[in-house]
Structure 1
Amino acid sequence: MEQAVEHPEVGKEELASVTQIILGMIKTSKGLRIYLPNNPVLIGFISDLGTKMAFHLARYGELTLDVEQFTLRYQGALVYENKDPKESMASRLHADGIRTLFFDQGVEPAEIVAFLGVVGFERPSSDDDVVTQLWERNLQHIGYLTEDDFTDPYLLGEAEGADQQRDALERIRQELAQQLPPPPRMIPKHLLMLSAQEEAWLRKAVDFEGRCNGLDDVIGILAAIVGEVQEPELFADFTAILGNLTVSLVVAGDIPHALKLARFLDRLQKLPTTAPEQRQQLAAALAGILSDATVEVLKVALDSAEAGIDYVQLKELLLILGIPSLRAICELLGRVEKLKVRKLIVEVLVELGREKPAVFEPFLSDPRWYLVRNVVLILSLIGTPAALKMILGLISHREPRIRREVLGFLERTSDAKAKTYLLKYLRDESSALRIKALQVLTRERLSFALKPVMALAGGEDFQERPLEEKKEIFLALGELGQESVLPMLREQLLKRYWFQKGNEKESVQLAVLGLGRIRSRAALELLEEARGQKKGGEVRTMLDQAIASHAARKRNRGGTR
């Protein structure tokens, strides 16, 4: 469709309006070939064309188009040209003798669609000609004149020149308008006599047909072919078609239809009657659904708030794809950002790797720490000895966030042997992880940690440690050692710093923390002994508070008993 050629007798706006109508007809006729009747794109084309036509007719009156072999003209101005006979709307009209078209006010979009359904397609040679088909449709607001009308001497008279020809056309139209419409076709009565049951069934069938998705029909047809075909080459071709269609559906975010196809391929693969070679082809089709390209597109769809993806169906789809797609599923886990989706993928991977956690080993050396962290979580949820062994190998990982994830696993696990690995964190380069490990050892009263903790308290580097870490060390000493560490705490409590009052205060503070965890009278006596030696200041106040707190705990325990 080229830009309309201007004509001196036609205004630019009027000519532009006609041009837009012609363009709308071209788009709509192509849409009728491509889309189903309920497709939103086609519905949009039809609505837009109807609006433009109604606007033009309301503003300029009747739309008349002269038909030539490959062109359409409006008041002499060229508005359409296509010299391809198979594609040219003008060629189809001209070949069947139509020379003029009329569109009157009140024309409905349904009439325009019916008109384009006749002239917008190349008709099979067995079909009736355009004139016959237009006559059968009885379009009330769309008229035409044929070549025979122009040669009728009664209607044309002696018309000569453009003005006379237009007058002649008007007389022709008036003459045709006065003719009676063709009689309605008579339908035999027995064809209309439906029972109430038949009518109800017919209504249900029409309703079902209206709601039917064309994609379901395509899937059903392809599945039927693959399920019945015996020739190896045809089976391979149609299996590949199903695989490619599933990929396209995943990329489009259409998980329900992708799941439907994946189910079919998976079930067919597991049938005992399926030949080994066919099983391999089906497995290859399933394995090819998730790739780097589809993972990236799926990631965007999953992170989108408007995606509306059914997570139950997504989980089933990922489980069907299974171990052959494990790398792609882990890659998806590493890319997706939405927490709910990550949780779903973790659940899928736990289920896939429960029997053989070694499948995750290649991902433990991935440079993306967050992916490794997620794999650690997956292995911890699997919880088998083999999974535990893989996790423990990451205690010395260079990334502290991964070491923290392993520490979290050691905190959660009920495996007594695994708990001993907490001691490795007492020498971790991260103070935060050392403190966390001390807290876990103290809370769970793991007595095997007493000697390593005592070594920390007596180490040469103790004074260089952060104060918070020193406090956790002495809390662990008191909780784990009880009365066995009283001599060590007494030395810490009564040690004098003649010229370093700040160090003395810290030493007393640490000893008091340890004594506060010892559940015996000896701890209270030691505090009272120290109070007798400390004459005043912050240290004396600290001891008074510790004694009062110790006495209160003793009363509470007595009241409980």
Structure 2
Amino acid sequence: MIDQGVDQLDGVGKEELASVTQIVLGMTKTSKALRIYLPNNPVLIGFISDLGTKMTVHLARYGELSLDVEQFVLRYQGGQVYENRDPKESIASRLHADGIRILFFDQGVEPAEIVAFLGVLGFERASSDDDVVTQLWERNLQHIGYLTEDDFSDPYLMTEDDTAHQQRDALERIRQSLVEQPPPAPRMIPKHLLMLTAEEEGWLRKALDVEGRCNGLDDVIGILAAIVSEVQEPELFADFTAILGNLTVNLVVAGDIPHALKLARFLDRLQKLPITAPEQRHQLAAALAGILSDSTVEVLKVALDTSEAGFDYGELKELLLILGIPALGAICELLGRVEKLKVRKLIVEVLVELGREDPAVFEPFLNDPRWYLVRNVVLILSLIGTPAALKMILGLISHREPRIRREVLGFLERTADAKAKTYLLKYLRDESSALRVKALQVLTRERLSFALKPILALAGGDDFHDRPFEEKREIFLAMGELGQESVLPMLRDQLMKRYWFQKGNEKESVQLAVLGLGRVRSRSALQLLEEARSQKKGGEVRSVLDQAIASHPARHGAQAGRGEVAP
């Protein structure tokens, strides 16, 4: 445990004491990491680099770093900078048990020396003779020194009347003597210990083969997960949670969805455990929320659009569902950018599932300036299909973008909600002729009788003649289908109308009336056509009437829809 609240001591400022505290904390983290990671692991390398930087800056600013070692405590200039009363985990306890009372670091200390020093402290001793002092002496660390309990038997240090200046001289003399000691000769390994039997060699080859096929990333994920699951110190938990989040981001950017999913699953499950503290839940949620961002969405979009067959879309779907509502904006953004149809369909399925309980989460995206994104949200809301989702869709009927209005019209065509069908009438006055035609076709095909009166108003309106012929055609088809016998008088007027000097208009008028009469399934409609043929003697109009009579349902004794055929 690091003491974070030490007041300023005589001759030592708070900044200096805080600097030492951070160095000792860094040594604690790195010592634990040395027991877990391989030497080339990026997490371990990062810890070592950070510790080396802090040590170098401190030594350059304040000079030699000297720590007094007590049984469970480390002190700097009398101020406590470390405490851990667990003998198995305490750095101070390990040093103190082997007689070390003062530990010092000189300018020029290399990261490799710090690693060697922490390596000695971080592992269980191999035998009763293999103590910390012996191991440090064998490594001959040039810039890391120590004084043991025996060193304080020096007369300079034992004299009660000695001044502080004399004691410093004694310490310097002892340190210089330690530095000048030559490194020990390398130990010779007996030759017979290097020999392997055939059975041992075979086993070793198999072990190497298995190791070669292992994915190192799986090991890293497993180790990080184990650390986060067990660590209790808030600062360490936050550090390792951030590492997991960043690693997941990098995996997503690299297109490695399987490993990204494995990490996201772990973070999500740990967040939901009842034993997880609220602050830890907040940190885990932040790590999950940071996985998708503008940069990762763009990279992921490219990876998804360019991926070959064999890409596991099920894993991508599970990953997006785990990220959930906090990542809704990024998921919608991904939907707006990705081009591959299969991926877009998958993302739509994810968003439908996420928004089913509360469609209002999509409301901010309905005002997005990108029409294609709004169109996709309309599709999602239509698939959700709840009254709340329907209300949000209907609010877009007058949207300025015709492609959005077309998507809403498509929803009204597909829905089975009778109340929603009435909103089709709004499209009869839409500024787009194509949308007006589409709405007329839907009303006609589904035989929605409530639309007859507005359609008759269109046919009798002053602007009817200015409409495209395709739209006029659909109006008369709808009139005949929805009105049946009730519209015969109006269709008769249209059929018999004379245009003495505008034969083209007369032909169009007959064509429209014939279209309407062709949908009126009664003998009366057929008789009206025959009457018109008797009055119109020849030309193209007579040909149109002949074809209409020949194909009329009543002529063949057919019965369709609501109208009945007379005998």
The two structures have a TM-score, normalised by structure 2, of: 0.64
Amino acid at match of 1:546: A
Matched, 1:325 2:298: no
Cα distance change on mapping 1:428 and 1:211 into 2, 3 Å: same
Cα distance change on mapping 1:232 and 1:307 into 2, 3 Å: farther
**Cα distance in 1, alignment partners of residues 405 and 419 from structure 2:** 18
Question: Which of 344, 347, 370 is the aligned partner of 2:346?
Answer: 344
**Cα distance in 2, alignment partners of residues 432 and 221 from structure 1:** 61
Following TM superposition, by how much is the alpha carbon of 1:296 offset from its aligned partner in structure 2, in angstroms? 1.1
Equivalent residue, structure 1, for 2:158: none
Partner secondary structure for residue 521 of structure 2: coil
Equivalent residue, structure 2, for 1:13: none
Matched, 1:522 2:524: yes
Equivalent residue, structure 1, for 2:414: 412
Cα distance change on mapping 1:464 and 1:188 into 2, 3 Å: closer
Matched, 1:264 2:266: yes
Partner secondary structure for residue 274 of structure 1: coil
Deviation digits for residues 90-126 of structure 1, max 9, x if unmatched? Answer: xxxxxxxxxxxxxxxxxxxxxxxxxxxxxxxxxx996
Cα distance change on mapping 1:190 and 1:508 into 2, 3 Å: closer
Equivalent residue, structure 2, for 1:363: 365
Amino acid at match of 1:504: E
Following TM superposition, by how much is the alpha carbon of 1:437 offset from its aligned partner in structure 2, in angstroms? 0.2
- Residue ranges of structure 2 left out of the alignment (5+ in a row): 1-37, 43-109, 112-135, 140-189
Amino acid at match of 1:391: I
Equivalent residue, structure 1, for 2:455: 453
Contact map agreement 1:253 1:309 (CA 8 A) in 2: no
Following TM superposition, by how much is the alpha carbon of 1:496 offset from its aligned partner in structure 2, in angstroms? 1.1
**Cα distance in 2, alignment partners of residues 125 and 500 from structure 1:** 116
Contact map agreement 1:249 1:257 (CA 8 A) in 2: yes
Equivalent residue, structure 2, for 1:377: 379
Cα distance change on mapping 1:208 and 1:331 into 2, 3 Å: same
Question: Which of 537, 540, 554 is the aligned partner of 2:539?
Answer: 537
Alignment of 1:275-314 (within 5 A): 275-306=277-308, 309-314=311-316
**Cα distance in 1, alignment partners of residues 313 and 349 from structure 2:** 12
Partner secondary structure for residue 339 of structure 2: coil
Cα distance change on mapping 1:213 and 1:126 into 2, 3 Å: farther
**Cα distance in 1, alignment partners of residues 297 and 553 from structure 2:** 64
Partner secondary structure for residue 508 of structure 1: helix
Following TM superposition, by how much is the alpha carbon of 1:547 offset from its aligned partner in structure 2, in angstroms? 0.7
Alignment of 1:168-183 (within 5 A): none
Equivalent residue, structure 2, for 1:393: 395
Matched, 1:211 2:217: no
Alignment of 1:119-138 (within 5 A): none
Partner secondary structure for residue 355 of structure 1: coil
Contact map agreement 1:365 1:372 (CA 8 A) in 2: yes
**Cα distance in 1, alignment partners of residues 523 and 554 from structure 2:** 13
Alignment of 1:104-119 (within 5 A): none
**Cα distance in 2, alignment partners of residues 489 and 227 from structure 1:** 80
Following TM superposition, by how much is the alpha carbon of 1:524 offset from its aligned partner in structure 2, in angstroms? 0.5
Amino acid at match of 1:336: V
Contact map agreement 1:477 1:485 (CA 8 A) in 2: yes
Cα distance change on mapping 1:338 and 1:543 into 2, 3 Å: same
Amino acid at match of 1:258: A
**Cα distance in 2, alignment partners of residues 383 and 500 from structure 1:** 51
Following TM superposition, by how much is the alpha carbon of 1:215 offset from its aligned partner in structure 2, in angstroms? 1.1
**Cα distance in 1, alignment partners of residues 303 and 273 from structure 2:** 33
Partner secondary structure for residue 260 of structure 1: helix
Equivalent residue, structure 2, for 1:169: none
Question: Which of 484, 487, 501 is the aligned partner of 1:485?
Answer: 487
Deviation digits for residues 420-467 of structure 1, max 9, x if unmatched? Answer: 000000000000000000000000000000000000000010000000
Cα distance change on mapping 1:199 and 1:427 into 2, 3 Å: same
Cα distance change on mapping 1:400 and 1:275 into 2, 3 Å: same
**Cα distance in 2, alignment partners of residues 446 and 204 from structure 1:** 76
Question: Which of 463, 466, 469 is the aligned partner of 1:464?
Answer: 466
Following TM superposition, by how much is the alpha carbon of 1:187 offset from its aligned partner in structure 2, in angstroms? 6.4
Deviation digits for residues 492-539 of structure 1, max 9, x if unmatched? Answer: 111111111111111110000000001110000100111111111111
Amino acid at match of 1:220: G
Amino acid at match of 1:530: A
Contact map agreement 2:518 2:553 (CA 8 A) in 1: no
Cα distance change on mapping 1:126 and 1:540 into 2, 3 Å: farther
Contact map agreement 2:261 2:319 (CA 8 A) in 1: yes
Question: Which of 241, 244, 248 is the aligned partner of 2:243?
Answer: 241
**Cα distance in 2, alignment partners of residues 236 and 300 from structure 1:** 32
Contact map agreement 1:380 1:388 (CA 8 A) in 2: yes
Amino acid at match of 1:377: L
Matched, 1:507 2:509: yes
Alignment of 1:98-109 (within 5 A): none
**Cα distance in 1, alignment partners of residues 332 and 233 from structure 2:** 37
Equivalent residue, structure 2, for 1:141: none
Contact map agreement 1:255 1:309 (CA 8 A) in 2: no
Contact map agreement 1:253 1:307 (CA 8 A) in 2: no
Contact map agreement 2:523 2:554 (CA 8 A) in 1: no
Partner secondary structure for residue 552 of structure 2: helix
Partner secondary structure for residue 462 of structure 2: coil
Amino acid at match of 2:483: G
- Residue ranges of structure 1 left out of the alignment (5+ in a row): 1-31, 37-85, 88-123, 128-183
Which has the larger displacement, 271-280 or 423-432? 271-280
**Cα distance in 2, alignment partners of residues 221 and 307 from structure 1:** 32
Cα distance change on mapping 1:548 and 1:268 into 2, 3 Å: same
Deviation digits for residues 130-187 of structure 1, max 9, x if unmatched? Answer: xxxxxxxxxxxxxxxxxxxxxxxxxxxxxxxxxxxxxxxxxxxxxxxxxxxxxx9546
**Cα distance in 2, alignment partners of residues 553 and 374 from structure 1:** 48
Equivalent residue, structure 1, for 2:404: 402
Following TM superposition, by how much is the alpha carbon of 1:297 offset from its aligned partner in structure 2, in angstroms? 1.0
Following TM superposition, by how much is the alpha carbon of 1:553 offset from its aligned partner in structure 2, in angstroms? 5.9
Identical aligned residues as a percent: 83
The two structures have a TM-score, normalised by structure 1, of: 0.65
